[in-house]
Amino acid sequence: MPRRDDIDHVLVIGSGPIVIGQACEFDYSGTQACRVLREEGLRVSLVNSNPATIMTDPEFADATYIEPITVDFVEKVIAKERPDALLATLGGQTALNTAVALHERGILEKYGVELIGADIEAIQRGEDRQRFKDICAAVGAETPRSAVCHSMDEVRATVERLGLPVVIRPSFTMGGLGSGMAHTAEELERLASSGLAESPVHEVLIEESVLGWKEYELELMRDRNDNVVVICSIENIDPMGVHTGDSVTVAPAMTLTDREYQHMRDVGIDVLREVGVDTGGCNIQFAVQPETGRLVVIEMNPRVSRSSALASKATGFPIAKIAAKLAIGYTLDEIRNDITGETPASFEPTLDYVVVKVPRFAFEKFPGADPTLTTTMKSVGEAMSLGRNFVEALGKALRSMETGAAGFWTTPDPAGVTAQDLLDALRVAHDGRLYTVERALRLGASVAEVSAASGIDPWFVDQIASLVELRAEVIAAPVLDEPLLRRAKRSGFSDRQVAALRPELAGEDGVRTLRHRLGVRPVFKTVDTCAAEFAARTPYHYSAYELDPEAESEVTEQRDRPKVLILGSGPNRIGQGIEFDYSCVHAAMALRAAGFETVMVNCNPETVSTDYDTSDRLYFEPLTFEDVLEVVHSERGSGTVVGVIVQLGGQTPLGLARRLTEAGVPVVGTPADAIHLAEDRGAFGEVLANAGLPAPRFGMATSFTAAKRIADEIGYPVLVRPSYVLGGRGMEIVYDEASLAGYIARATQITPEHPVLVDRFLDDAIEIDVDALCDGHEIFLGGVMEHIEEAGVHSGDSSCALPPITLGRTDLAVIRRSTAAIAEGIGVRGLLNVQYALKDDVLYVLEANPRASRTVPFVSKATAVPLAKAAARIMLGATIAELRAEGLLPAKGDGGELPATSPVAVKEAVLPFHRFRTPEGHGVDSLLGPEMKSTGEVMGIDASFGKAFAKSQTASYGSLPTSGRVFVSVANRDKRAMVFPVKRLADLGFEVLATAGTAEVLRRNGIPCTEVRKHFETPLDDQPNIVEIIRAGGVDMVINTPYGNPGPRVDGYEIRTAAVSRDIPCVTTIQGAAAAVHGIEALISQEIEVESLQALQAALRSSR
Amino acid sequence: MTGAALVLEDGRVFRGQAFGATGTTLGEVVFCTGMTGYQETLTDPSYHRQIVVATAPQIGNTGWNDEDDESRRIWVAGYVVRDPARVPSSWRSRRTLDEALGEQGVVGVSGVDTRSLTRHIRERGAMRGGVFSGDALTDVDAMVEQVLASPRMAGADLAGQVTTEAGYVLPAQGERRYRVAALDLGIKTNTPRMMAARGIETHVLPVTATIDDVLAVEPDGVFLANGPGDPATADGPVELARNVLERRIPLFGICFGHQILGRALGRGTYKLRYGHRGINIPVIDVDTGRVAITSQNHGFALDGEPGERFDTPFGAAKISHYCPNDGCVEGVRALEVPAFSVQYHPEAAAGPHDAAPLFDEFVSLMEDPNATAG
């Protein structure tokens, strides 16, 4: 069947900001979809509020709307664009929910838009848990026994019947939000009530526990000719009870016989057909009782999912791309398999390697949050690796994590722990459970004991036992000879691990020298979808060690074009996310266009950078020094490597700059010594002093005494933090000596090499972020962003406006001069990000990072200048003047002097607080501080600040209120500044609620308000306190600024967590309150319109 | 660890460790890309005289059970794997794969770079080879010499070596609706099972069966099974097929049986460079355009083009199915007599069940023999 000829224009909905449970995998899938649809000659319109995505680059769609993904805004886009069809199965749960809402509000019908990929009925059949269970029963498949409940009474009656423990799953939430396992009646009450609240339809499923069963997933695809194929099977190492996003997973399934696998396949296909997903991808989860093999269906996603991205990268089968083609009418047999170029896509990929995915957590960012893994997803990212066996892939995945431990034995064992302690610990799922498995085995626990305690299949436990045995051999061998070293490498041991076992080899470098002398090097195999049955055209490689010294590498020679390696950013984590992938992808595009062969190295399966056709070659490898060096070796063997780019992938590759340079690798761009100048505070202080630039006074301390002396000298408040961090890890503002002592006591890793920095904290300063390019001769200001929150909130969590809304010409001139001086002083070649604080007309330099920053994609979109592309070219020798002449940069002007008519763009951070709970089940504090906590961001863009800000708030949290009740409680220092914004809200018709102190100030200023009781004040009568009012839905917006260090007992904590749980705007700074008032005014007074990025950028370009 | 090596006739040697039994084995080296189902593969008589290379790297994870054998023994001549499991994990497992191979004297080799080996076979074609382990592992020239002295697959008549000695009957499940004479060219256990589930009583006959032996069963249909070897040597079964066609007895053939029907219809067969062996292979039905993912295991194929119609001594016939990977013929149908066959395995085991409805088609033909498969 050829493609449908009745569709000319498709609207694609993206997934919005990166949140836990919905990460950049949907940028990957959406980008593929847009690309495919346009290749087919269709007009593509796109809505996505996330500026950090590749898909929202103007060249990927005909009309790109960086607008909130809400029914109202999407309707505006539909009204303006009038598409024939809507494709919503590639934008995660956000897009699917929006499509359902558009249908229910009659908007699709009104504008004659056909939903393609999956129809409403199929979506509902797949997502409505009871209907789904009925469907499974109809095709003869089992599901866990359960009941759908709409009230707590129904919940209690059901549990009476099923017995505890039970699983609670709210309907229509993503990433398992609100779901959990209740072992006790108390847990049941808490989880089920919050589950009912989280579900948009107030519905939860109460289900028989399949805790501890084996867990599997199948990725399937169906076309309109009813052909169905299984793309990939995935086995979770962590058994049922841990969300699949938080599990260590393996592809293909390792412990199924063909009989059981085919049964699973049959059930999967029957369910898919019965649910009626027309075309495209779908994911089905199964649980298998390990003693009997009883198979039950858990759930299905009638759309491309996170697992689909994993399956695509694991197999080389591009699920999203194919899904888009199927949606417009092609059948699987009509689509070529890109990898072989010869065979069709109507087949099932077969693997001759093993894939392991390991989740990346960020519990250290949320003190007090319960780190137990449950059915609610908590991980913020993941790394995938490929090896020729499970242990090799596991070793590579563990060292891809970018945490303290880089595989087994790389961190000291906790002291005094026994095998029994570890077996006890294994009973509860936790981050790093496989490390606990290894320790337990090493301390004498048997495979059977470990398997029984953890529920992990004995096959996997035995695989880890094989590593424990091999470890003993490596330690015991008189000499580490070639056969033993080869076996160790073949089992995934890194040089660093071997060095930990053989101290006489003088560390990782010594091991590498020995290994190279013995000729033990990896070969590079190819991901080809077909286990080598057909020749592969696509250079998608992974490393492996074979026993045979003559084993072959499959990297082909290419000596015509110079090669550039781009090091990606590894697993997503807070502080290092999709923004860096964006820059890496842009570098690949720009350098390929400039005639280089581009080679990508990365290990994050969710990204566009690890799509096999983003670069000329892809190495799916950990970003460790050892692994990168072997890739460089491989590429040097097949051609000429002229450069390795480390400054676009965030701190991960940047951290390799020095060692790579020392190893003779041609790191291009800002040299390693220059990076050091920016990162070392002492050296950077000299750069500033030489340029005559002021910086907050600071000092470095390795003890409390030293820190106290510095703080006394420069005065409180001070900002304290460890050196060399990204995302503000471990930063705090301390207001007095006691808190300083507390901080030093908590900061465990203080050494002379890693001192604590103590900075003067500039209270009430305006923070400014600048992204700039420098070619060694001149600078190009990419953008000057003014933070809406004052200095002290991490720049990644702060909302900001571009162009800056309150800075004058003289301020900008000082910023330009200072940035140029810093770029010159450091010796930047490429991108530079500088953070300033403006206080009392003095521009203080806070820090400078000679690398791509988080804001590069935002600035690029807001100013229509591709900064990362330009940076990549500059690193390879182009000058700013040349790039201006070429048209990559504007002929004149830059982001520091935008035309007066340019639109205002507002970036807002999206925070994950509502996903975390303390072990007692309370919310975690939503307070912002110097440590970054946001997972993603949105952009609002419009003609004025108010409208742009309103859009940014709508995109991140749902709309700002235009009427209702606002609760105000601010710290004393903010009380004066609060008066004007709150007065305006009262004038706009809001009812103002305030606590006693705030109310007094408001009344004195003539603002009517209702006084409410704080939650810890003794009740005088039956009046509810403010926390109860918020929880009951009696407040539409909260303005609450805190004082002092955050912590569960600090005033305001309960208020903010209540606001988070109700999903109402919670403003924690006065500047934020002022911006919110702007936004509310815009919403009330004017009709907010949508405009495509292409139109906005064209206007901007023509006015330059 | 005992050393072992796979030695190919072109002199290439892949070294590893002994796996299963120790000693020498010779055969045609082929690769199979299935990720599951090694027990079914190893016990499939079609692999007789072949040294099978598993492209899936981790083999033996589910051990060896008492239910999944596809015949009375392991047939492969040798087994080449990368990483055998140390302990199996499956509630049905009774012994390890290593033990099963050892008990049945099957010589294997592990630790081999199976991907390099597969690429070699893909580029050079399936070829003769030998696994040598323990004392048999000698100098390369001597081992290559042994390999070169072994018989080739082309021209090999092997069905006689795998077929049953005497006929036997497998009852229908529930009420018997049909009686089928199945020629055992290397039949797998699951085939009579699939037939039994459809009310068929299966009379399995040895490969030497004559048309009179078949008629003695008073069959509603005749089934030609899968099996090893070169179809060009199977003159007896081809003659038998012609006799069945003449009598308009519904005929269904799979794999080797398909090649026999094709030859009976006057078509030639040829040896593929490296064959189709896996459980992920697409087959397109020319009439409906629909794709089935199939289990396959064949080194020979029938001449023809997808959709081609041709004349036969039994009236018109057509090429009904093909593999879109390479255009290879995967099914043939007589249009004027009730006979059809497919190159793949509707009984699966190992592999997907997409093609199982072919057994229903066979039932329909027996229901109304005047209808034709076309």
Q: What is the pLDDT of residues B169-182, one digit of tens each?
A: 999 999 999 999 99
Confidence of residue A834 (pLDDT cuts 50, 70, 90): very high
Q: Give me the torsion for CA of A951, A952, A957, A961, rounded to 10°.
A: -50
pLDDT (mean) for A1010-1020? 74
Question: How many domains does chain A contain in total?
Answer: 6
**Residue B282 clears pLDDT 60, i.e. is over it:** yes
CA distance A351 to chain B (A): 6
Tell whether A313 is within 8 A of chain B (Cβ).
Answer: no
Q: What is the CATH number of the domain that holds A104?
A: 3.40.50.20
State pLDDT tens for residues A58-92: 999 999 999 999 999 999 999 999 999 999 999 98
Distance CA A579, CA B313 (A): 70
pLDDT in the model for residue B38: 98
State pLDDT tens for residues A271-283: 999 998 888 889 9
Confidence of residue A177 (pLDDT cuts 50, 70, 90): confident
State pLDDT tens for residues B342-369: 999 999 999 999 999 999 999 999 998 7
pLDDT in the model for residue A1046: 43
Specify whether B347 is catalytic: yes
Confidence of residue A437 (pLDDT cuts 50, 70, 90): very high
In a domain, A790, yes or no: no
The residue of chain B nearest to residue A342, with distances taken between CA atoms, is B325
* C-alpha dihedral sign at A424, A429, A430, A435: positive
Specify whether B255 is catalytic: yes
pLDDT (mean) for B218-238? 97
Please indicate, yes or no, whether residues A45 and A72 belong to a single structural domain of this protein.
yes
Please indicate, yes or no, whether residues A491 and A535 belong to a single structural domain of this protein.
no
Set of chain B residues whose Cβ sits within 8 Å of the Cβ of A546: 113, 116
Distance CA A238, CA A47 (A): 36
Residue A45 or residue A756, greater confidence: A45
Please indicate, yes or no, whether residues A639 and A739 belong to a single structural domain of this protein.
no
| Chain A 386-405, residues with CB within 8 Å of chain B CB atoms | 388-390
Please indicate, yes or no, whether residues A486 and A620 belong to a single structural domain of this protein.
no
Q: A348 vs B289: CB contact, 8 Å cut-off?
A: no
State pLDDT tens for residues B196-208: 999 999 999 999 9
Lowest mean pLDDT across A217-226, A655-664, A930-939? A930-939
Set of chain A residues whose Cβ sits within 8 Å of the Cβ of B119: 532, 552, 554
Please indicate, yes or no, whether residues A404 and A502 belong to a single structural domain of this protein.
yes
**Residue A751 clears pLDDT 80, i.e. is over it:** no
Q: A531 vs B67: CB contact, 8 Å cut-off?
A: no
Return phi, psi of residue A1072, to 5°.
Answer: -65, -40
**Residue A1043 clears pLDDT 80, i.e. is over it:** no
Which contiguous run of DSSP H or E holds residue A1030? helix A1026-1031
In a domain, A1051, yes or no: yes
Q: B58 vs A331: CB contact, 8 Å cut-off?
A: no
Q: A462 vs B86: CB contact, 8 Å cut-off?
A: yes
Is the model's pTM score more than 0.80?
A: yes
SS3 for B278? Answer: strand
Distance CA A268, CA A995 (A): 57
pLDDT in the model for residue A71: 94
Q: B293 vs A258: CB contact, 8 Å cut-off?
A: no
Name residues whose C-beta falls within 8 Å of residue B163's C-beta, 6 or more positions apart in sequence: B184, B185, B186, B206, B207, B208, B227
pLDDT in the model for residue A795: 82
State pLDDT tens for residues A296-329: 999 998 888 889 999 999 999 999 999 999 999 9
Matching CATH number, B3-149, of 3.50.50.60, 2.60.40.10, 3.90.320.10, 3.50.30.20: 3.50.30.20
Please indicate, yes or no, whether residues A31 and A152 belong to a single structural domain of this protein.
no
pLDDT (mean) for B61-77? 97
Q: What is the CATH number of the domain that holds A396?
A: 1.10.1030.10
**Residue A817 clears pLDDT 80, i.e. is over it:** yes
Residue range(s) occupied by CATH 3.40.50.880 in chain B: 159-367
SS3 for A819? Answer: helix
User: What stretches of A105-210 show up as alpha helix (H) in DSSP?
Assistant: 107-110, 120-127, 129-138, 152-162, 185-198
Whether residue A911 contacts residue A775, with contact meaning beta carbons closer than 8 Å, is answered with no
Q: Which of A266, A343, A547 sits opposite B111 (nearest CB)?
A: A547
* C-alpha dihedral sign at B114, B116, B117, B123: positive
Please indicate, yes or no, whether residues A384 and A500 belong to a single structural domain of this protein.
yes
Distance CA A767, CA A793 (A): 9
In a domain, A923, yes or no: no
The residue of chain A nearest to residue B14, with distances taken between CA atoms, is A548
CA distance A356 to chain B (A): 14
Which contiguous run of DSSP H or E holds residue A964? none
Set of chain A residues whose Cβ sits within 8 Å of the Cβ of B55: 350, 352, 531-533
Distance CA A373, CA A403 (A): 18
pLDDT in the model for residue A921: 67
Specify whether B103 is catalytic: no
In a domain, A859, yes or no: no
Percentage of chain A surpassing pLDDT 70? Answer: 96
ipTM: 0.97
Residue B356 or residue A956, greater confidence: B356
State pLDDT tens for residues A871-906: 999 999 999 999 999 999 999 999 998 888 899 999
Q: Considering chain A, what is the average pLDDT of its residues?
A: 91
Instruction: Select from A1041, A1044, A1011, A1004 the least CA-distant residue to A1026.
Output: A1011
pLDDT in the model for residue A1: 61
Confidence of residue A175 (pLDDT cuts 50, 70, 90): low
Residue length of chain A: 1104
Q: Which of B255, B258, B323, B328 is catalytic?
A: B255
Distance of CA A1022 to the CA centre of its chain: 45
Whether residue B102 contacts residue B21, with contact meaning beta carbons closer than 8 Å, is answered with yes
Matching CATH number, B159-367, of 1.10.10.10, 2.40.110.20, 3.40.50.880, 1.25.40.10: 3.40.50.880
Q: Give me the torsion for CA of A332, A336, A340, A341, rounded to 10°.
A: 170
Distance CA A856, CA A780 (A): 13
**Residue A1048 clears pLDDT 80, i.e. is over it:** no
State pLDDT tens for residues A818-833: 999 999 999 999 999 9
Please indicate, yes or no, whether residues A721 and A616 belong to a single structural domain of this protein.
no
**Is residue A271 classed exposed, middle or buried when 0-12, 13-18 and 19+ CB atoms within 10 A define those classes?**
buried
Residue range(s) occupied by CATH 3.50.30.20 in chain B: 3-149
Please indicate, yes or no, whether residues A529 and A647 belong to a single structural domain of this protein.
yes
Lowest mean pLDDT across A746-750, A1043-1047, B56-60, B267-271? A1043-1047
Please indicate, yes or no, whether residues A366 and A503 belong to a single structural domain of this protein.
yes
Whether residue A845 contacts residue A694, with contact meaning beta carbons closer than 8 Å, is answered with yes
Q: Which of B120, B258, B321, B345 is catalytic?
A: B345
pLDDT in the model for residue A231: 97
pLDDT in the model for residue A315: 97
The two structure tokens encoding residue A155: 């919940």
Whether residue A452 contacts residue B72, with contact meaning beta carbons closer than 8 Å, is answered with no
**Residue B156 clears pLDDT 80, i.e. is over it:** yes
Confidence of residue A164 (pLDDT cuts 50, 70, 90): confident
In a domain, A589, yes or no: yes
CA distance A470 to chain B (A): 13
In a domain, A280, yes or no: no
**Residue keyed to tokens 């095709």:** A139
Percentage of chain A surpassing pLDDT 90? Answer: 66
Lowest mean pLDDT across A155-164, A603-612, A630-639? A155-164
State pLDDT tens for residues A1055-1087: 777 887 777 888 877 888 888 998 898 888 877
State pLDDT tens for residues A456-489: 999 999 999 999 999 999 999 999 999 999 999 9
pLDDT in the model for residue A1047: 39
The residue of chain B nearest to residue A337, with distances taken between CA atoms, is B325
Please indicate, yes or no, whether residues A370 and A424 belong to a single structural domain of this protein.
yes
Interface probe, candidates A334, A533, A541, A547, chain B, greatest B C-beta count within 10 A: A533
Q: Considering chain B, what is the average pLDDT of its residues?
A: 96
**Residue B239 clears pLDDT 60, i.e. is over it:** yes
| Chain A 221-280, residues with CB within 8 Å of chain B CB atoms | 225-227, 229-230, 252-259, 261-262, 265-266
Residue B286 or residue A926, greater confidence: B286
In a domain, A885, yes or no: no
pLDDT (mean) for B144-150? 97
**Residue A1049 clears pLDDT 60, i.e. is over it:** no
Q: From the CB of residue A109, how many other CB atoms can be counted at a distance below 10 Å? A: 10
Residue A1054 annotated as binding? Answer: no
Please indicate, yes or no, whether residues A515 and A543 belong to a single structural domain of this protein.
no
State pLDDT tens for residues A490-523: 999 999 999 999 999 989 999 999 999 999 999 9
State pLDDT tens for residues A689-723: 999 999 988 888 888 888 899 999 988 888 888 76
**Residue B217 clears pLDDT 50, i.e. is over it:** yes
Interface probe, candidates A235, A259, A342, A351, chain B, greatest B C-beta count within 10 A: A259
The two structure tokens encoding residue A1088: 């907010």
Domain, as residue range, for A614: 524-668
Give the neighbor-by-neighbor strand order of the sheet with A732-734: A698-701, A756-760, A718-722, A732-734
Interface probe, candidates B52, B67, B113, chain A, greatest A C-beta count within 10 A: B113
In a domain, A601, yes or no: yes
